[in-house]
């Protein structure tokens, strides 16, 4: 199998190995310990690396409010506006590994008033769900982008091979014509060779005949000279 075949075989195998079933996003109530306090919130468990989920979560939270991301502490969102509800108290968010998955959690600070705490239950559940959907969609989009790049590479390679095929066929046509020309030239050369051999043989015979005649004429000249000398 050449390099081209190996390349496209790998692409096909990689594509067939992707999961066919759609990702399911589920949201559940979760308590997390934030700055010594246990806060109620909502979380979803996602398939992905902690780095991927965390980066995507922070990006998504920026659509909700002002995000303060810390290296150790949970992310804090201030001036949040969720579904038209503006939250005066900070919103806390975090991600952490949970088994083979990554948990993304969001909860309201204890400083929130009771009415907002009640509203947050429905709002935060939707925020977490929407994030989970967005995360999987973004991950799948990466696969789509990669597949499209592979498709473009395949199409480019196909065009390259088609152009190469045209060039090869053109060269083959020229080669066939050149072969016929050379075969004809070889046949003509052979005929000329045989003709030259016949002409050379004929020439040698002609030289022999002329040589004999020349010798006879020379004898005749000598005879005439002898006769001339005898005249008195």
User: Which residue has better confidence, 10 or 89?
Assistant: 89
pLDDT, tens digit, 9 for 90 and up, residues 180-200: 999 999 999 999 999 999 999
- Structure-block tokens of residue 198: 């016949």
d(CA 195, CA 108): 110
pLDDT higher than threshold 90 for residue 161:
yes
**pTM confidence score:** 0.66
> Residues, the chain, total?
232
- What is the token pair recorded at 178? 């050149």
- All structural domains of the chain, each given as residue ranges with its CATH number in brackets, are 23-147 (3.30.310)
- Contact in structure between 106 and 93 (CB atoms under 8 Å): yes
H/E run at residue 192: helix 114-229
Q: How many CB atoms lie within 10 A of CB 54?
A: 19
pLDDT digits (tens, 9 = 90+) for 22-54: 689 999 999 898 877 888 899 999 999 999 999
């Amino acid at each position: 199998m050449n390099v081209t075949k190996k390349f496209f075989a790998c692409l096909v195998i990689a594509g067939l190995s992707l999961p066919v079933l759609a990702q399911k996003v589920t949201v559940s109530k979760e308590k997390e310990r934030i700055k010594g306090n246990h806060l109620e919130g909502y979380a979803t468990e996602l398939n992905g690396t902690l780095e991927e989920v965390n980066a995507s979560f922070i990006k998504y939270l920026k659509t909700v409010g002002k995000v303060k991301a810390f290296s150790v502490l949970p992310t804090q969102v201030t001036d949040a506006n969720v579904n038209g509800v503006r939250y005066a108290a900070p919103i806390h968010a975090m991600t952490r590994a949970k088994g083979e998955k990554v948990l993304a959690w969001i909860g309201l600070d204890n400083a929130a008033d009771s009415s907002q705490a009640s509203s947050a239950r429905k709002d935060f559940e939707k925020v977490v769900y929407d994030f989970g959907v967005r995360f999987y969609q973004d991950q799948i989009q990466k696969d789509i982008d990669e597949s499209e790049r592979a498709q473009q590479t395949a199409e480019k390679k196909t065009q390259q091979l088609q152009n190469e095929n045209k060039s090869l066929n053109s060269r083959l046509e020229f080669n066939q014509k050149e072969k016929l020309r050379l075969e004809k030239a070889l046949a003509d050369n052979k005929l000329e060779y045989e003709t030259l051999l016949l002409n050379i043989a004929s020439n040698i015979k002609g030289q022999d005949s002329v040589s004999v005649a020349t010798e006879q004429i020379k004898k005749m000249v000598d005879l005439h000279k002898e006769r001339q000398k005898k005249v008195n």
